[in-house]
A and B are shown apart, each in its own frame.
Chain A
């Protein structure tokens, strides 16, 4: 009996809750623009998802408050248009594509959001943005890196980050540069990646790019993520002994990988990482000196920001750090940037007309002080053609930029210093 009454209480509580929420949306008609966020707030990629959410929240603060100290479009005045505030409606997809799909529907249909920003995991972004495309609603993506996302000819989908295809090309450009300028003699490559949607995509693009410059793939090592150990994986790499390794391992797997390589006392001449554990400052801090000499593609680092995007540092200190208690990283920052771009497009459109805003997003070039290239423009399909990432190298907990030469702030240290000489 008590169970029944408890259930009934719960049911009533849920009903009341729903009513309150619906009522809330009913009389909040005035002067707000609802933007949905859809990130993995729980589940295996929750770390990144929560950072992404905080970044969007920070960007919303930039727009909503009067920030004369920030040299960012729309920062100076409070709100958008004639005093509209951005309200973020957050949703959690738990890293599951099916949840992402139904939450996207809920955000558009039930919460009435104007656009969604998300969803970090490409596997979740795919079905969620398909919902948007079918409903003719905007879907903005900061960090999902799968090149396939912008090869679908979607009209309502826009993505800021460089794809893994672009990053792979940059990695191989760098290898050619090293071979030519520094006589590096890099001939063989190994790939080490988590066997997930993300890792597989990255590795496929990596292999393609490596073939184009005539590198021989001597080791192709996918691993099961959230690993208990990586002994056989690293042993396989060691036995094949490639000159360079492209890595795609997230968080805990990344630190386990580095430590296992140290344990077997092996390193390639060079290791370059896709957006992964490498670019997470917290992971690097825990690895301490062991993370040194590794490289990775990034579109943000505190060092780069000092030089090329000072506004990002200001936003970080003013709004992001209080929320997230850490620095921006490439992934999270780009999600916030997408909100700033969207706000600019809404402002230009002069109102909340999805078609008009879409048209502006698709055709105009935006000033974006929080993007490495300083501007953003989308090609058909939604890829940001100004997307830029640089290759950095870790040394003493600092991300030194080593390529392209335009952004270089230190000489590459090549090959990596062996473990016993550190």
Chain B
């Protein structure tokens, strides 16, 4: 156990160091398209990890995270567009609102089982996005468009290069992955796993499963909202189909599950494969005719689910299990 933790530790710090150095190397991020792709990889990895807290570690598959993502995006955008102030005020407000909303929604929904829970979270996304479409205070269907802001951390807005956004995404990534590392190595992780194994098991171990699930959901929603705020800042615009659609919810699932559900590295691996694939196929394969990029994307999803539903982590585990002599390890790490 301890040996394994240090390996994971070493990988973690190595990754952070490499990621931190990148923008300071010429051609590392700058204004390039791969700079955009890397920023998105970090952002989506962070989003997926936030989702992983409730769905992977706690076993409650949520299709509703687009709502929290959207609330976060609206938090930042409302601060900038409607209140003419800094996104730094909007983002935490969005996170708190998202966390509270998530608790209010989840408290009754947690008693639903399996696909019933999934469909209920679907419906919640539809309700929220359709309400935001007609809510004039938040811009309704027209959405909120950012004015042209000065570059810099104050406005969290850059146009000449992407280093700022990249570092911002890296900070989010570090925060969320750090939280999960902390959870994994503390008592909380044990509670989560107990809950995932089933309510009865958890209660018999003296874990108050509803409280654990709700706090995991609140944490997950709040962190997701921060990612949403970043997304709004990055795109200078927010409207409901853009930040609150089922498409967004599906992204959380696809990335995490492709990488490996309920694992620490899964969300990063999933994002590192899916996001470049999505961006580069769209950018460079569109001459094959419309939709070819999305067809390839779909085929890869199907293949993954057929061949290795445990995702990339499943493949890696398979390889290491075959090559190493380490006896059977614990399921999650």
Residues of A within 8 A of B (CB): 1-4, 7, 10, 14, 17-18, 21, 41-42, 46, 50, 90-92, 94, 96-99, 101-103, 105-106, 109-110, 123, 126-127, 130-131, 133-135, 148, 195-197, 199-201, 222, 224
Chain A CB within 10 Å — which of B33, B130, B284, B294 has the most?
B33
Task: List chain B residues, Cβ under 8 A from A195.
Answer: 133-134, 141
Task: List chain A residues, Cβ under 8 A from B231.
Answer: 98
> Nearest residue in B to A90 (C-beta to C-beta)?
B286
Task: List chain A residues, Cβ under 8 A from B282.
Answer: 92, 94, 99, 103
The answer to whether A105 touches B36, judged by C-beta atoms less than 8 angstroms apart, is: yes
Counting CB contacts under 8 A, is B273 at the interface? Answer: yes
Interface 9-mer from B1-9, B48-56, B143-151, B219-227: B143-151
A148 to B133, CA, bound (A): 18
A116 to B232, CA, bound (A): 23
Counting CB contacts under 8 A, is B193 at the interface? Answer: no
The answer to whether B237 touches A123, judged by C-beta atoms less than 8 angstroms apart, is: yes
The answer to whether B284 touches A21, judged by C-beta atoms less than 8 angstroms apart, is: yes
> Nearest residue in B to A94 (C-beta to C-beta)?
B282
Counting CB contacts under 8 A, is B307 at the interface? Answer: yes
**A249–chain B nearest beta-carbon distance, Å:** 14
Counting CB contacts under 8 A, is B204 at the interface? Answer: no
A7 to B276, CA, bound (A): 13
Counting CB contacts under 8 A, is B250 at the interface? Answer: no
Extra contacts besides A148-B145, A200-B140, A224-B130 (6): CB < 8 Å: A46-B290, A92-B286, A96-B242, A101-B236, A105-B33, A195-B133
The answer to whether B283 touches A101, judged by C-beta atoms less than 8 angstroms apart, is: no
Chain B CB within 10 Å — which of A17, A18, A197 has the most?
A197
Residue A91 contacts which of B140, B242, B283 (CB distance < 8 angstroms)?
B283
> Nearest residue in B to A2 (C-beta to C-beta)?
B307
Binary contact track B116-151/A, C-beta < 8 Å → 1, others 0: 000000000000001001100000111101101000
Binary contact track B303-314/A, C-beta < 8 Å → 1, others 0: 110011000000
Whether A110 touches B143, Cβ cut-off 8 Å, given contacts A14-B280, A134-B148, is: no
The answer to whether B237 touches A42, judged by C-beta atoms less than 8 angstroms apart, is: no
Residue B284 contacts which of A17, A50, A127, A201 (CB distance < 8 angstroms)?
A17
The answer to whether A109 touches B32, judged by C-beta atoms less than 8 angstroms apart, is: yes
The answer to whether A4 touches B283, judged by C-beta atoms less than 8 angstroms apart, is: no
Q: Which of B220-248 contact A (CB under 8 A)?
A: 231, 234-237, 239, 241-242
Task: List chain A residues, Cβ under 8 A from B280.
Answer: 14, 17-18
A7 to B311, CA, bound (A): 13
Task: List chain B residues, Cβ under 8 A from A3.
Answer: 303-304, 307-308, 315
The answer to whether B290 touches A130, judged by C-beta atoms less than 8 angstroms apart, is: no
Task: List chain A residues, Cβ under 8 A from B146.
Answer: 130
Residue B235 contacts which of A1, A10, A41, A101 (CB distance < 8 angstroms)?
A101
> Nearest residue in A to B133 (C-beta to C-beta)?
A195
What 8 A-B pairs are tightest by C-beta distance, nearest first? A134-B159, A200-B141, A110-B33, A127-B237, A98-B235, A41-B290, A106-B33, A109-B31
> Nearest residue in B to A204 (C-beta to C-beta)?
B142
The answer to whether A123 touches B284, judged by C-beta atoms less than 8 angstroms apart, is: no
Task: Enumerate 8 A-B pairs (CB-CB under 8 Å) in ascending A order.
Answer: A1-B319, A4-B315, A50-B290, A90-B287, A92-B286, A98-B231, A101-B236, A106-B283
Task: List chain A residues, Cβ under 8 A from B143.
Answer: 97, 123, 197
A195 to B140, CA, bound (A): 9
Counting CB contacts under 8 A, is B152 at the interface? Answer: no
B: contact size bracket:
35 or more
Task: List chain A residues, Cβ under 8 A from B237.
Answer: 97-98, 101, 123, 126-127, 130
**B308–chain A nearest beta-carbon distance, Å:** 6
A94 to B242, CA, bound (A): 11
> Nearest residue in B to A93 (C-beta to C-beta)?
B282
A133 to B160, CA, bound (A): 11
Counting CB contacts under 8 A, is B291 at the interface? Answer: yes
The answer to whether B145 touches A126, judged by C-beta atoms less than 8 angstroms apart, is: yes
> Nearest residue in A to B280 (C-beta to C-beta)?
A14
> Nearest residue in B to A98 (C-beta to C-beta)?
B235
**B135–chain A nearest beta-carbon distance, Å:** 11
Task: List chain A residues, Cβ under 8 A from B140.
Answer: 200
Residue B159 contacts which of A42, A46, A131, A197 (CB distance < 8 angstroms)?
A131
A94 to B278, CA, bound (A): 12
Task: List chain A residues, Cβ under 8 A from B319.
Answer: 1, 4
Residue A18 contacts which of B130, B284, B304 (CB distance < 8 angstroms)?
B284
**A155–chain B nearest beta-carbon distance, Å:** 10
A134 to B147, CA, bound (A): 11
**A97–chain B nearest beta-carbon distance, Å:** 5
Chain B CB within 10 Å — which of A2, A3, A21 has the most?
A3
A199 to B241, CA, bound (A): 14
Binary contact track B28-61/A, C-beta < 8 Å → 1, others 0: 0001110010001000000000000000000000
Residue B142 contacts which of A2, A103, A134, A197 (CB distance < 8 angstroms)?
A197
Binary contact track B159-181/A, C-beta < 8 Å → 1, others 0: 10000000000000000000000
Task: List chain A residues, Cβ under 8 A from B134.
Answer: 195, 222
Residue A133 contacts which of B148, B235, B277, B290 (CB distance < 8 angstroms)?
B148
A254 to B105, CA, bound (A): 37
Task: List chain A residues, Cβ under 8 A from B279.
Answer: 102
The answer to whether B36 touches A7, judged by C-beta atoms less than 8 angstroms apart, is: no
**B164–chain A nearest beta-carbon distance, Å:** 13
A156 to B36, CA, bound (A): 23
Residue A106 contacts which of B36, B235, B242, B307 (CB distance < 8 angstroms)?
B36
Task: List chain B residues, Cβ under 8 A from A46.
Answer: 290
Task: List chain A residues, Cβ under 8 A from B145.
Answer: 126-127, 130, 148
The answer to whether A197 touches B36, judged by C-beta atoms less than 8 angstroms apart, is: no
